[in-house]
């Protein structure tokens, strides 16, 4: 592992669901943070030269055999350590304290009682503040050299400190929003005790990333597939800043894009940024391959296959290419390394380009590997991408193909595009777009009778869906104010031909998926 050019806080991951959140909280203080597995060797940690180390929580119990433990040499590095929950317990046990399992698990809110006003970790924290607890075990005797500076009704050793060694620990979770003054604890550690310089921001990231890309690429060429999504857009613009015309982008119009999307991509990347762009208009190829197919998996396979054929054909005509750029993000990187395997990286794997054909020997260039999604959006803004491109909802690789339920035809796609555009427009004008994880419209292969003017109609049904979610693994339906749905429904029936009925989907995930397919 390398030494980073910014002051860094390392999060040692014991398999906690909150490890990524801890890293994000640190970065919100403009300090770079990096998650590494608890098995990382002391030598590697030494090379990274972090300003501080945070032990994450974790699902294990320190008392059980084979519970995850860091190399004990970590306590001799002279680097400040903050243990959170399991992290506190493992630090206590390894330093001569003990941990017990009380009769009851403690889960939920607790009140902190500050015992020592001079504590470095508790500086500026109110005498009584709300904490979020979630633990079975707790520390039952202090390790030598430690004192406790905070307690709650059910947990005597809630905050531990050893100022001489600069080891600290908290039984609660400062990284979650439920801990009312969580940021204060973390910044006391990161900025106060570790004295980390808060100089990590997107401006400094751009400068370093450009240098790295130039060094890696030299005078060779990079290929980047544009999807219209934020990750590939940001990756392309960043790489373009670094190497200009050595970047070639490929944009496949599969005919399954939203209204005006293809034009927008061409306008932004070709006209505005002046990026070399191979535009593959393959709408007819997709449509003819999809003709008559209604089974969801079969549609997906066809879309995937035609995409790959089109993409590689365009790539082959782009000249000598050495690198394929991908918008891989930090959560994908961590999930593949996490001790618990992480919640899975299914979203990304849906639309990766797949294995490279034999004759294309490209290396990967992944300039966003260190960033969380919200940082990518910030970076996009920093690079001047339009706000509606930076801040958009996720959109699936197979596009409207998974929203045009039944057969995919040009006419049905056009209808769906109009419905979708009205729905999104109404959400935006109600100011609700950013409250929603994803909003979408589907066209159903079901006809029903309606009446428009004096005429009876017999047209298809569309369904609208909007969900809130953290990571798309689970989702809840979004509670719209009724008038927003009403406006969208009435505009859809009035303005879009081919649809005379609008449904709103109130299925959560599970049991439903987000897309209909
Ligand atoms: P589901 O429908 O499985 O979707 O609940 C979960 C999330 O993944 C998106 N999705 C895809 N994204 N390629 C993608 O890039 C795909 O093939 C794909 N299928 C679903 C979906 O929009 C939602 O955000």
Per-residue pLDDT band for 305 (boundaries 50, 70, 90) equals very high
- A 10 A CB-CB count for 144 gives 9
C-alpha closest to that of 253 among 208, 306, 216, 180: 306
Residue-averaged pLDDT of the chain: 92
Q: Do 121 and 251 belong together in one domain?
A: no
**pLDDT tens, 175-197?**
998 999 999 999 999 999 999 99
- Asked if pLDDT for residue 342 goes beyond 70, the answer is no
pLDDT of residue 350: 38
**pLDDT tens, 441-462?**
999 999 999 998 889 999 999 9
How far apart (Å, rounded) are the C-alpha atoms in residues 367 and 208?
A: 10
Kindly give the distance from the C-alpha atom of residue 463 to the centroid of ligand 1, in angstroms, as a whole number.
Answer: 17
Pocket of ligand 1, candidates 345, 350, 398: which has the most ligand atoms within 8 Å of its Cβ, to mutate? 350
Atom 11 in ligand 1: residue holding the nearest Cα: 396
- Give the largest Cα separation in the chain, rounded: 87
Atom 9 in ligand 1: residue holding the nearest Cα: 396
Q: Do 58 and 129 belong together in one domain?
A: yes
Q: Do 142 and 40 belong together in one domain?
A: yes
Q: What is the CATH number of the domain that holds 433?
A: 3.30.300.10
Q: What is the CATH number of the domain that holds 21?
A: 3.40.50.880
Kindly give the distance from the C-alpha atom of residue 52 to the centroid of ligand 1, in angstroms, as a whole number.
Answer: 37
Q: Do 154 and 273 belong together in one domain?
A: no
pLDDT of residue 61: 94
| Residue percentage of the chain with pLDDT more than 70 | 95
Tokens of residue 83, six digits: 């243990």
Kindly give the distance from the C-alpha atom of residue 483 to the centroid of ligand 1, in angstroms, as a whole number.
Answer: 28
C-alpha closest to that of 94 among 78, 64, 74, 66: 74
**pLDDT tens, 130-160?**
999 998 899 999 999 999 999 999 999 999 9
What's the mean pLDDT in 307-315? Answer: 93
pLDDT of residue 1: 57
- Asked if pLDDT for residue 349 goes beyond 60, the answer is no
Q: Do 164 and 298 belong together in one domain?
A: no
Atom 17 in ligand 1: residue holding the nearest Cα: 350
CA distances to 35, 283, 341, 364, 472 from 345, in Å: 17, 29, 10, 18, 11
What's the mean pLDDT in 332-349? Answer: 51
Kindly give the distance from the C-alpha atom of residue 439 to the centroid of ligand 1, in angstroms, as a whole number.
Answer: 12
Question: Which residue among 139, 172, 193 closes a domain?
Answer: 193
Q: Is residue 375 part of a domain?
A: yes
Which atom in ligand 1 lies closest to the alpha carbon of residue 440? 22
Atom 19 in ligand 1: residue holding the nearest Cα: 396
Q: Do 340 and 433 belong together in one domain?
A: no
Cα 305 from chain centre: 27
Give one word for 395, left, alpha or beta, with left for phi > 0 and alpha for psi -120 to 50.
beta
Q: Do 275 and 386 belong together in one domain?
A: yes
Q: Strands 222-226 and 98-100, how do they pair?
A: unpaired
Q: Do 179 and 222 belong together in one domain?
A: no
Per-residue burial over 211-227, b if 16 or more Cβ lie within 10 Å, else e, is eebeebbeeebbbbbbb
Which atom in ligand 1 lies closest to the alpha carbon of residue 229? 15
Q: Do 238 and 104 belong together in one domain?
A: no
pLDDT of residue 184: 96
What's the mean pLDDT in 361-386? Answer: 93
Q: What is the CATH number of the domain that holds 371?
A: 3.40.50.620
pLDDT of residue 333: 80
Angle at 357 (CA atoms; ends 352, 358), nearest 5 degrees: 140
**pLDDT tens, 211-266?**
999 999 999 999 999 998 999 999 999 999 999 999 999 999 999 999 999 999 99
Ligand 1 site residues, Cβ closer than 6 angstroms: 347, 350-351, 394, 396-398, 402, 438, 472, 509, 513-515
Question: Which residue among 193, 212, 232 closes a domain?
Answer: 193
Q: Do 272 and 359 belong together in one domain?
A: yes
- A 10 A CB-CB count for 417 gives 21
Range of the domain at 257: 202-390
Kindly give the distance from the C-alpha atom of residue 398 to the centroid of ligand 1, in angstroms, as a whole number.
Answer: 9
Question: Which residue among 148, 164, 193 closes a domain?
Answer: 193
Active site residues per annotation: 85, 173, 175
pTM of the full predicted structure?
Answer: 0.84
C-alpha closest to that of 168 among 152, 140, 192: 192
Which atom in ligand 1 lies closest to the alpha carbon of residue 512? 5
How far apart (Å, rounded) are the C-alpha atoms in residues 286 and 294?
A: 14
Among 30-39, 267-276, 323-332, 349-358, the minimum mean pLDDT is found in 349-358
Place of tokens 């897309």: 515
């Amino acid at each position: 592992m390398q030494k980073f050019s910014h002051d860094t806080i390392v999060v040692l991951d014991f398999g906690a669901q909150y490890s990524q959140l801890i890293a994000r909280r640190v970065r919100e203080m403009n300090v770079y943070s990096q998650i590494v597995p608890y098995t990382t060797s002391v030598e590697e940690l030494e090379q990274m030269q972090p300003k501080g180390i945070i032990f994450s929580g974790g699902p294990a119990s320190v008392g059980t055999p084979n519970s995850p433990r860091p190399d004990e040499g970590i306590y001799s590095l002279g680097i400040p350590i903050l243990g959170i929950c399991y992290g506190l317990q493992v630090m206590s046990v390894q330093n001569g304290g003990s941990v017990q399992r009380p009769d009851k698990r403690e889960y939920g809110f607790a009140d902190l009682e500050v015992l020592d006003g001079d504590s470095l970790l508790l500086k500026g924290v109110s005498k009584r503040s709300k904490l979020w607890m979630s633990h079975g075990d707790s520390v039952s005797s202090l390790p030598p050299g430690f004192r406790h500076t905070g307690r709650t009704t059910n947990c005597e050793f809630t905050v531990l400190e050893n100022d001489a060694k600069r080891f600290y620990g908290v039984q609660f979770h400062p990284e979650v929003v439920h801990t009312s003054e969580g940021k204060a604890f973390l910044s006391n550690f990161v900025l106060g005790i570790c004295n980390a310089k808060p100089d990590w921001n997107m401006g400094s990231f751009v400068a370093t990333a450009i240098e790295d890309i130039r060094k890696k690429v030299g005078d060779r060429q990079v290929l980047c597939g544009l999807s219209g999504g934020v990750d590939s857009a940001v990756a392309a613009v960043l790489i373009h800043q670094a190497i200009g015309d050595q970047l070639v982008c490929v944009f496949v119009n599969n005919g399954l894009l939203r209204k005006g999307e293809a034009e927008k991509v061409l306008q932004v990347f070709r006209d505005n940024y002046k990026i070399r762009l191979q535009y593959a208009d393959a709408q007819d190829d997709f449509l003819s391959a999809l003709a008559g197919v209604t089974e969801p998996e079969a549609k997906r396979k066809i879309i995937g296959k035609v995409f790959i054929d089109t993409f590689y054909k365009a790539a082959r005509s782009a000249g000598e290419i050495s690198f394929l750029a991908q918008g891989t993000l930090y959560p994908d990187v961590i999930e593949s390394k996490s001790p618990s395997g992480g919640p899975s990286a299914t979203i990304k794997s849906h639309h990766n380009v797949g294995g490279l054909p034999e004759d294309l020997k490209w290396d990967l260039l992944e300039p966003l590997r260190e960033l969380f999604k919200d940082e990518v959006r910030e970076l996009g803004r920093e690079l001047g991408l339009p706000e509606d491109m930076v801040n958009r909802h996720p959109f699936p690789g197979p596009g409207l193909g998974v929203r045009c339920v039944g057969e995919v035809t040009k006419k049905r796609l056009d209808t769906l595009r109009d419905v979708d555009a009205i729905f999104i427009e109404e959400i935006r004008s109600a100011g609700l777009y950013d409250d929603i994880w994803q909003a979408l419209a589907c066209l159903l292969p079901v006809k029903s009778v309606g009446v428009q003017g004096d005429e009876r109609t017999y047209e298809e049904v569309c369904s609208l869906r909007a969900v809130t979610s953290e990571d798309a693994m689970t989702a809840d339906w979004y509670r719209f104010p009724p008038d927003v749905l009403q406006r969208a429904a009435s505009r859809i029936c009035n303005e879009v031909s081919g649809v005379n009925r609008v449904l709103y989907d109130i299925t959560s995930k599970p049991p439903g998926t987000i897309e209909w397919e």
